[in-house]
Chains A and B, each alone.
Chain A
Amino acid sequence: MRKKHLLALVVVAFAALALAQTYPLQITKLETKDLQGNVKTSFKRGEVVIVETTISWAPTYYYYYAAASLSYLEIITMWYGYTMTGLALTRTSIGPGETKTFGGGMQIRMTDPMGTYRIEVYVWNGFPSEVGPKCPKWTPLAEKAITTISVGG
Chain B
Amino acid sequence: MKARYALLGLLLLAAAVLAQPTITVTPSTVSAGGTVEIKISGVDAEKCGIEIVDPAGAKAFVKEITLSNGQGVVTWDVPLAARLGAYTVYVSCTTSGAATAKFTVTALVGGEAHKDLAPLLMTMLSALAALLAAALIVRRLGGKLT
Please name all residues of chain B whose beta carbon is closer than 8 Å to the beta carbon of A75 when the two chains form the complex. Answer: 62
Please name all residues of chain B whose beta carbon is closer than 8 Å to the beta carbon of A131 when the two chains form the complex. Answer: 92
Smallest CB–CB gap between B102 and chain A, Å? 13
Chain A stretch 70-98: residues in CB contact (< 8 A) with chain B: 75, 77, 81-84, 87
Q: Which of B72-80, B107-115, B116-124, B133-141 contacts A (4 or more CB under 8 A)?
A: B72-80
Given contacts A3-B1, A7-B5, A122 and B95 within 8 Å (CB-CB): no
Please name all residues of chain A whose beta carbon is closer than 8 Å to the beta carbon of B144 when the two chains form the complex. Answer: none
B86: Cβ under 8 A from any A Cβ: no
B50: Cβ under 8 A from any A Cβ: yes
Please tell me which one of the listed residues A7, A77, A82, A134 contacts residue B62 in the complex, with CB atoms under 8 A apart.
Answer: A77
A101: Cβ under 8 A from any B Cβ: no
In chain A, what residue has the closest Cβ to B75?
A82
A18: Cβ under 8 A from any B Cβ: yes
A37: Cβ under 8 A from any B Cβ: no
B103: Cβ under 8 A from any A Cβ: no
Bound complex: CA of A77 vs CA of B95, how far in Å? 24
Contact with B along A1-31 (1 / 0, CB 8 A): 0010001000000000010010000000000
Contact with A along B88-113 (1 / 0, CB 8 A): 10111111011000000000000000
Please name all residues of chain A whose beta carbon is closer than 8 Å to the beta carbon of B53 when the two chains form the complex. Answer: 129
In chain B, what residue has the closest Cβ to A83?
B77
Please name all residues of chain A whose beta carbon is closer than 8 Å to the beta carbon of B59 when the two chains form the complex. Answer: 87, 127
B69: Cβ under 8 A from any A Cβ: no
In chain B, what residue has the closest Cβ to A4?
B1
B85: Cβ under 8 A from any A Cβ: no
A153: Cβ under 8 A from any B Cβ: no
A144: Cβ under 8 A from any B Cβ: yes
Given contacts A75-B62, A140-B49, A82 and B77 within 8 Å (CB-CB): yes
Smallest CB–CB gap between B74 and chain A, Å? 8
Please name all residues of chain A whose beta carbon is closer than 8 Å to the beta carbon of B77 when the two chains form the complex. Answer: 81-83
A128-B61 in contact (CB<8A): no
A82-B76 in contact (CB<8A): yes
Bound complex: CA of A129 vs CA of B93, how far in Å? 12
Given contacts A3-B1, A129-B88, A140-B47, A122 and B75 within 8 Å (CB-CB): no
B49-A127 in contact (CB<8A): yes
Show 19 A/B contacts (Cβ-Cβ < 8 Å), sorted by A.
Answer: A83-B79, A84-B60, A84-B62, A84-B76, A87-B62, A120-B63, A124-B64, A128-B90, A129-B51, A129-B53, A132-B98, A133-B19, A133-B20, A133-B92, A133-B97, A133-B98, A137-B92, A138-B98, A144-B64
